[in-house]
């Protein structure tokens, strides 16, 4: 509207100027073409020229509008379709958030071909299909998403890995995440999902390799990360028992903080006890840990730990009796060490004291084996075998 009044003002100024120009002398204009002659005043000619110019201008605009009309109609139709697709997308997202997964899928896919962002439609439809258990449809939507936007490979891959992990397709998720990690090795979320896949597949060497990066970037909460670290490094240790040298090497490669973790230490010494390996440095570490903080599980492991001299080990452990004389785990450990020192009577006394403090399946079994194998009292052995079995069944129920 402002432009129109501006043009009108300019036209009025031009007309007024023309009138003032020819007021004193109207002038004379003649046009002749063959036998045709047109004579008029200058003012009339100028007025006619202005009218002709204005008419030509609006005629050109009319013709240009007619020429552009099909494209304008098409653009308007497409805009209406975009608007409808946006409404369908919004409704689909609302349905998905509210748990109406089938309706969400239908809304998301209804006008996907006319959407400005088909990638979002396909990714959300894949989630809706997953939540309905339609895994083939989910995979098809992800494939369509890639065809719609090949440049969004990372976003599509992350969604696919998340859905595969949720459906317990961990091996497929690992393949997806390995590919994504190769093209985006510094992507934090991909790294976190990859650690999760390794953990669920119990691929401990691969897990411990990636965990330092997870810790450095703080990609997981501390308690969850600590749980994964324990599982990963325990798994690595458990697979390194082919020789004591390889086992000690694996232990030395653990982070220092984990080497002092009670759960990790129990696992380490328990493996050594099972393999009947001895290491002076390991024993000193165990003793140092017990002196720093008492741990029932660790003292139980120490009872099975075969030191170089059982009598020296027994004397060292008996020093704890003053402080923990009524601890069933310490008494059980002392009985086992006495067994290795071939002190059958002392072993019997410690086992019976442990059972008297608190009867456990392990103490009953140890005493039963002592009666059967060393003291030649099968009836007593049967009695404690039976008691230990009852305790085990009670604990499992």
> What are the distances in angstroms from CA 104 to CA 85, 93, 122, 128, 289?
13, 7, 11, 7, 58
Q: Is the pTM of this model over 0.85?
A: no
Q: How far apart are CA 370 and CA 295, in angstroms?
A: 26
Domains and CATH numbers, the chain: 309-397 (1.25.40.10)
Query: For 298-322, what is each residue's pLDDT tens digit?
Result: 898 889 888 888 999 999 899 888 8
Tell me which of 14-18, 74-78, 104-108, 375-379 is least confident: 74-78
Share the mean pLDDT of the chain. Answer: 84
Q: How far apart are CA 340 and CA 3, in angstroms?
A: 107
Confidence (pLDDT) at 211: 94
Cβ-contact 174, 157 below 8 angstroms: no
Query: For 348-357, what is each residue's pLDDT tens digit?
Result: 999 999 999 9
Cβ-contact 317, 298 below 8 angstroms: no
Query: For 321-362, what is each residue's pLDDT tens digit?
Result: 888 878 999 999 999 999 999 999 999 999 999 999 999 999
Q: Residue 218, by phi and psi: left (phi above 0), alpha (psi -120 to 50) or beta?
A: left
Query: For 213-237, what is each residue's pLDDT tens digit?
Result: 999 999 999 999 999 999 999 999 9
Summarize the confidence of residues 38-66 as an average pLDDT: 69
């Amino acid at each position: 509207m402002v432009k129109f009044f501006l043009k009108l003002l300019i036209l009025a100024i031009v007309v007024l100027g023309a009138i003032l120009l020819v007021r004193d002398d109207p002038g004379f204009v003649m046009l002749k073409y063959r036998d045709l002659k047109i004579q008029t005043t200058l003012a009339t000619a100028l007025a006619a020229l202005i009218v002709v110019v204005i008419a030509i201008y609006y005629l050109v605009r009319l013709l240009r509008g007619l020429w552009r009309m099909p494209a304008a109609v098409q653009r308007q139709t497409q805009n209406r379709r975009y608007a409808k697709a946006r409404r369908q997308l919004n409704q689909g997202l609302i349905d998905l958030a509210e748990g109406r997964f089938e309706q969400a899928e239908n809304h998301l896919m209804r006008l996907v071909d006319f959407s400005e962002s088909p990638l979002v439609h396909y990714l959300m439809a894949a989630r809706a299909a997953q939540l309905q258990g339609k895994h083939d449809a989910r995979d098809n939507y992800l494939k369509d998403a890639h065809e719609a936007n090949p440049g969004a490979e990372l976003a599509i891959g992350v969604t696919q890995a998340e859905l595969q992990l949720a459906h317990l397709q961990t091996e497929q998720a690992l393949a997806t995440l390995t590919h994504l990690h190769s093209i985006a090795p510094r992507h934090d979320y991909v790294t976190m999902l990859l650690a999760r896949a390794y953990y669920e597949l119990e691929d401990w060497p691969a897990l411990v390799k990636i965990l330092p990066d997870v810790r450095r970037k703080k990609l997981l909460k501390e308690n969850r990360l600590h749980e994964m670290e324990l599982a990963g490094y325990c798994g690595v240790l458990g697979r390194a028992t082919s020789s004591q040298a390889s086992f000690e090497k694996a232990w030395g490669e653990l982070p220092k903080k984990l080497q002092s973790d009670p759960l990790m230490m129990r696992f380490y010494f328990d493996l050594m006890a099972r393999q009947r390996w001895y290491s002076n440095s390991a024993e000193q570490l165990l003793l140092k840990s017990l002196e720093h903080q008492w741990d029932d599980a660790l003292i139980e492991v120490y009872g099975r730990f075969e030191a170089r001299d059982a009598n020296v080990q027994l004397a060292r452990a008996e020093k704890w009796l003053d402080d923990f004389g009524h601890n069933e785990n310490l008494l059980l450990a002392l009985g086992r060490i006495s067994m290795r020192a071939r002190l059958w009577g002392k072993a019997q006394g410690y086992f019976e004291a442990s059972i008297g403090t608190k009867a456990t399946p392990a103490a009953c079994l140890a005493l039963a084996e002592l009666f059967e194998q060393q003291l030649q009292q099968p009836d007593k052995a049967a009695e404690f075998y039976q008691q230990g079995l009852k305790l085990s069944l009670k604990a499992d129920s």
